[in-house]
Amino acid sequence: MVITDFLERNARLYGQESALVEINPSEERDKAVTWWDFNLIESASPDTPYRRELSWKDFDRRANRFANLLLSRGLKKGTKVAILMMNCLEWLPIYFGILKAGCIAVPMNFRFSSDEIKYCLELADVEVLVFGPEFISRMDVIEKQIPQVRMLFFVGKDGPAYTEDCLSLVGFCSSSAPPVALEETDDAAIYFSSGTTGFPKAILHNHRALLHSCRTEQNHHSQTRSDVFLCIPPLYHTGAKMHWFGSLMAGSKAVLLRGVKPEWILRAVTEEQCTIVWLLVPWAQDLLDAIDAGKVELSHYRLDQWRLMHIGAQPVPPSLIKRWMNVFPHHQYDTNYGLSESIGPGCVHLGVENVHKVGAIGKAGYCWQTRIVDEHGQQVLPGEVGELIVRGDGVMLCYYKNPEATAEVLKDGWLYTGDMARQDEDGFIYLVDRKKDVVISGGENLYPVQIEDFLRGYHKIKDVAVIGMPDARLGEIAAAIIEIKEDMDCTQEEIEDFCKALPRYKRPRKMFFASVPRNATGKIDKPALREKYCSGRLVEAQITG
């Protein structure tokens, strides 16, 4: 069995029922991307968000047509086909069409620069690229520099002259399932790492890994056909798509919301009767702040059916979840830990029944194994800090074309995550920090996540990031970049006074009041912060020393 079998089953059993809805609150109607004969249900009133809907039957037919387009151009099993698109109704049918053709899907980060796009296309040996209107200017720069990409398909209106109109071409292709036999061991997708240590690595997964992620997600969150999943994060990332896999397995509707404003989220939950919402930390914070400030009024929305809020992709401050449960006491809460190398979320899972363990990322997920080990690969004792390693069918095959990097993280079937963690007496795992983010100050290990969690407990702080800053005497010191809540004033003396509850060696030695940058998946962009705040200080520390 492979994951495309679920799509075909849903089309057969629930064909006329809604599979996907796209809502774009800020979309200009004349710029909306459309496919030639989608069963569109557009909002009747111009003051309501642009809305499109797709049934399971049409979802499967569109995937088949795109697969048959690829096969008609001579593509073979294993050909790499990249997707560079914003979230939209076309994204998932194209992704599944690539899989159905036996090709390898290569989703790309919509924040990539022209150079990064070119680098990743070359790294993954991509021969076909499908991209949307938001990327024309970036593609214009490199379209003559990517000769290995022999087909450029454009999804939208009035594409560049060097592209082919994808939406017109698929209209002439068969909507029947393509005659391609797929096995669990076939290569399926290449995802890219976050690129926090330079240009991204290409992560190769097979169909078994995709199927494993699907089963893990559905086991963790018990999706049924009556659930409605609100998906806001980018589909190129494993997190968003693999959480949606639970809806695919259940045959239930999902809503793609293109926007993160608190009022847009609450309106989508209300109008689409969403029951499950996956948020990133900044969006949950913004929603709570908007409620506290009176900018949104919960009584204006219908939210009783909303049963589960879950968060992943980054460490979750316990203070945030305590705030959330005070505002939404009827919600189940869950958090999932994962990496693109482990096919997204779920290799560690808190569980909705363990809300009393907020702060932990949980225990080994469904059909996963976990260990915490020292630098020699030996398991550490409960309470001791070591590196988290995981094993299961969702572990990547390799870093594509990078055997050295693969050998560093794959050992005897275990994936070394690079995350430092500890385990309590009940077996729950707590993230301490990224291995490379540990600050060594005067011989003491400082874990920025622990300091960040503490600082977020101050009522005036909206967000915070802690990084290591070079120091001639101590080697490194902890520096805090602090983002204050809107309409609040705060001084360094206030923060210093609050930090007296921390052991002296853990207190930040430097503070900067500024916004905290985060990437598309909500993770703090610490390389950017190091570049901004530390680039000149390393030389200064070396000279002083």
DSSP-assigned letters across all residues of 415-453: EEEEEEEEE-TTS-EEEEEEGGG-EEETTEEE-HHHHHH
130 band by pLDDT with thresholds 50, 70 and 90? very high
Q: Residue 187 is inside which H or E element, if any? A: strand 187-192
Residue 91 has pLDDT above 90, yes or no: yes
Structural fold of domain 439-544: GMP Synthetase; Chain A, domain 3 (3.30.300)
Residue 435 has pLDDT above 80, yes or no: no
* pTM as predicted: 0.83
User: Do 435 and 500 form a contact (C-beta atoms < 8 A)?
Assistant: no
CA nearest neighbour of 381 among 392, 390, 389, 373? 373
- List where CATH 3.40.50.12780 sits in the chain: 4-231
49 band by pLDDT with thresholds 50, 70 and 90? low
User: What is the spatial distance between Cα 257 and Cα 230, in angstroms, rounded to a whole number?
Assistant: 7
Residue 159 has pLDDT above 50, yes or no: yes
pLDDT, one tens digit per residue, over 305-333 is 999 999 876 667 788 888 999 999 999 99
User: What is the spatial distance between Cα 426 and Cα 6, in angstroms, rounded to a whole number?
Assistant: 37
- List where CATH 3.30.300.30 sits in the chain: 439-544
- What is the average pLDDT across 380-395? 95
User: What is the spatial distance between Cα 484 and Cα 469, in angstroms, rounded to a whole number?
Assistant: 21
Residue 233 has pLDDT above 50, yes or no: yes
User: What is the spatial distance between Cα 275 and Cα 279, in angstroms, rounded to a whole number?
Assistant: 13
DSSP state of 378: P
User: Do 286 and 260 form a contact (C-beta atoms < 8 A)?
Assistant: yes
Q: For the ranges 261-275, 309-323, 386-400, which has the lowest average pLDDT?
A: 309-323
User: What is the spatial distance between Cα 129 and Cα 70, in angstroms, rounded to a whole number?
Assistant: 11
Class of domain 4-231: alpha beta
